[in-house]
Amino acid sequence: MAFSSILRNKSSTFVRAFASAAQLMRKTQPGYRTVLFAAVNRYEDSFVPRFHFSSVAVKNKPNSDENLLRVIEAEINCALETDDQSAVEEVPNNFPFKIVDSAGQQTITLERSYQGEEIKVEVHMPDLVTGEEHDNEDDDKDNESEAATQSSIPLSVSVSKKGGPSLEFSCVAYPDEIVIDSLSVKNPDISDGQIPYEGPDFQNLDESLQKTFHKYLEIRGIKPSTTNFLHEYMINKDSREYLEWLKKLKNFIQA
């Protein structure tokens, strides 16, 4: 009786936690993934007490799985309501890159050729900022802290020439602005055991040199008009991947 009571109490607490998670997701869209992930981990780690009575655990497992499935299905329905499948179908006519987007991956790749150069850009999932966290901050902030209040997408840009070295840029794209964090020259002939000199911190370069490299990337298609579209594209990809993740989770629990 005591063991059954423990399981009932755990089940009730777990269902209430997931119901709260679903309600929070509807109110605060950027945080819903974290809430669900934490709830699933909590289910896995602490929902069923780890006693050495396998016959009891097996007997009670179907009920707990049914509770989890109901919550996952509710989360799927909620994700379907907020998912805009048509939002990224229209690629701008002047978009300079071919988009390589593989389902199940956290990044996409952009590819293009430009005057004998091969340009590849790895675009990562966006870092979303709602702005609510910064409502009470002082107005007299420097540029770096102001950028921290904006959503952004990380970019890894590679510009290579046939048979030669490549330039590797690490960038962060904010609305209407691209920040270069680092720049290095990659030589394909360098062995793994060697540690090449990669130059100074980009922000320590002469200001005119920094501006020239920004123009260098802009000419090759890495510019705000490109990255602003990518920002929306990656937000929608994140939603699609989350929905597929939920479906895989449901299939696993059902098996």
Q: What is the pLDDT of residues 116-167, one digit of tens each?
A: 999 999 999 999 876 555 444 555 455 555 556 789 999 999 999 987 889 9
With 0-12 CB in 10 A as exposed, 13-18 as middle and 19+ as buried, what is 129?
middle
Q: What is the pLDDT of residues 166-177, one digit of tens each?
A: 999 999 999 999
Start-to-end CA span in the chain (Å): 30
Q: How far apart are CA 253 and CA 72, in angstroms?
A: 10
In a 3-state reduction of DSSP, which class is residue 193?
coil
Give the pLDDT band (50/70/90) at residue 82.
confident
In percent, the amount of the chain with pLDDT more than 70 equals 64
Strands of 98-100's sheet, edge to edge? 98-100, 108-114, 117-123, 153-161, 166-174, 177-186
**Which of 10-14, 73-77, 100-104, 219-223 bottoms out in mean pLDDT, i.e. has the lowest?**
10-14
Q: How far apart are CA 59 and CA 78, in angstroms?
A: 31
Q: Pairing mode, if any, of strands 117-123 and 166-174? A: unpaired
Higher pLDDT, 27 or 237: 237
**Which of 72-86, 203-217, 238-252 bottoms out in mean pLDDT, i.e. has the lowest?**
72-86
Distances in Å between the Cα of 233 and the Cα atoms of 32, 35, 58, 82 are 19, 23, 44, 15
71, 60 Cβ separation under 8 angstroms = no
